[in-house]
Amino acid sequence: MWQTLLTPVDLYCERTGSGLWAEPANALTNLAFIAAGLSGVRQVRRYRTGSFAEVLAWWVVAIGIGSATARFGKMRGVGQ
């Protein structure tokens, strides 16, 4: 049972295996989200635009991290 749950999913063209660079375009866009969010946090703190803007910037970082963990952690039998 565990063997099938931990086997990488290879059901679509971009994914070639497991690991960080199994989906290179997705990995780069996740890094872009994280970088954009951190840049936003820096700008919010620099210009003191308020806590709401900072929360939104941190959400962008969280989206990048969440997408990365969802994609890089795909296993057979999960979400099918």
Kindly report, residue by residue over 67-78, the tens digit of the pLDDT: 888 776 664 444
Q: Name the residue range of residue 69's domain.
A: 23-80
Quick check: is 13 in a domain?
Answer: no
Quick check: is 9 in a domain?
Answer: no
48: which 2 tokens?
A: 């003191």
- 8 phi, psi to nearest 5 deg: -60, 145
Separation of CA 29 from chain center: 8
Measured CA to CA, the distance from residue 61 to residue 15 in angstroms comes to 23
The number of domains in the chain is 1
Kindly report, residue by residue over 3-54, the tens digit of the pLDDT: 565 666 655 566 666 666 777 888 899 999 999 999 999 999 999 999 999 9
Quick check: is 18 in a domain?
Answer: no
Measured CA to CA, the distance from residue 20 to residue 26 in angstroms comes to 10
pLDDT higher for 27 or 79? 27
Quick check: is 67 in a domain?
Answer: yes
